Amino acid sequence: MNPENKISVSIIIPAFNVSSYIKDCIHSAFAQPHPHLEVICIDNNSTDDTWQKLEQLKQQYPQLIIDKELKPGAPAARNKGLKLSKGEWLQFLDADDLLMPEKIVHQVSMLNETSQVVPFIAASCLKRNLEGKEQKTFLNKEHPFKSLFVTQLGNTCANLWNRNYIERINGWDESLKSSQEADLMFRLLQVKDEVMYDDEPLTIVRERAEGQISQQNHSEKWQRFFHKRIEMLKWLKKYRPEHYMSEKDFYQDALFGILKIMAEKDLKTANRLYKQNLKPYKASSAQTHSTNPYMYIFSFFGFYGAEKIRNLFN
């Protein structure tokens, strides 16, 4: 472990059509007082004046590194930034999000206070909606695989990533259209399933009126989300069988909850995935996604019938 404050950090920012956001994002990066810091921003085929804004920001911050990546997608831009970077630890920051001034110093201090070596620090954040209201995200600290499965293991911009481990798994998967974050963490946990947890919400994830994948292709996104969890379970069953068997009810309940969300917009697909992957399903006593009346209806009419009745009443 390096002496205190000697750990170097690279902030890597992919940018696509974020002209109205990029200035605040870059300012928040350079507001970090950590002495061993570099900031890299990769324009990813922007059609607005994002690149021009970056050139202006470089005049203000000569140490800012800017470049372009022609292959579309944030994973490709992040990997380009990874190749240009030198930091021992990596802060991936989306161009519409913000770091609070103490974010990097705080997480580096966590690293300095322990001899534990982990693939990443899983951190809470603040999610800010379009009205400016903020809500802190929750971390599940039971087990990293369980936390990841239910998306409670931090996120791309809140976490701090160990460069050595990121390079061992060859960075981000550029072929994925969504669930890239879950895929990255899953592959890191396959190498070492230990993380540090940071409850301080020092990253602000801003909702955008348009342009975010979460607002597009609802069914396709949730199918990729579901299939990634099936992939996780197959791996756990093969390589962590004791954990899989002891937590099987937890994972089954989580899968059922995912399908209920999917069914709100695409019941046909959700029912098909239920039949292929979950039938027959019996809820555990710990499940939280369904009321007792719903499960009573489910026991008589099955998943498709219960969802039809639920949607009818909703």
Q: Quick check: is 1 in a domain?
A: no
- The larger pLDDT score, comparing residue 27 to residue 210, is at 27
Q: What does the mean pLDDT of the chain come to?
A: 95
Predicted pLDDT of residue 213:
38
Q: Quick check: is 3 in a domain?
A: no
Q: 0.85 exceeded by the pTM?
A: yes
Same domain, 276 and 199: no
Closest CA relative to residue 224, chosen from 187, 264, 273, 189: 273
Q: Quick check: is 196 in a domain?
A: yes
CATH at residue 57: 3.90.550.10
Task: Please determine, for residue 3, whether its predicted confidence score (pLDDT) is greater than 90.
Answer: no
Same domain, 71 and 160: yes
Q: Which domain holds residue 249?
A: 218-313
Predicted pLDDT of residue 219:
84
Cα dihedral across residues 98, 102, 105, 111: positive or negative: negative
Going by pLDDT thresholds of 50, 70 and 90, the confidence category of residue 215 is very low
Predicted pLDDT of residue 294:
96
What's the rounded mean pLDDT across residues 126-144? 96
Same domain, 105 and 166: yes
Same domain, 124 and 151: yes
Say what percent of the chain tops pLDDT 90. 92
Predicted pLDDT of residue 209:
77
Task: Please determine, for residue 108, whether its predicted confidence score (pLDDT) is greater than 50.
Answer: yes
Say what percent of the chain tops pLDDT 70. 96
Domain tally, the chain: 2
Same domain, 289 and 205: no
Same domain, 60 and 94: yes
Q: Quick check: is 176 in a domain?
A: yes
What's the rounded mean pLDDT across residues 86-107? 98
Closest CA relative to residue 9, chosen from 121, 116, 133: 121
Q: How many CA atoms lie within 13 A of 2 on its CB side?
A: 14
Q: Quick check: is 264 in a domain?
A: yes
Q: Give the tokens for residue 39.
A: 């900031």
Classify 156 as helix, strand or coil: coil
Same domain, 194 and 239: no
How far apart CA 254 and CA 226 sit, in angstroms, is 10
Same domain, 260 and 119: no
Same domain, 203 and 228: no
Residue at which a domain ends, from 211, 233, 256:
211
Task: Please determine, for residue 2, whether its predicted confidence score (pLDDT) is greater than 50.
Answer: no
Classify 259 as helix, strand or coil: helix
Going by pLDDT thresholds of 50, 70 and 90, the confidence category of residue 15 is very high
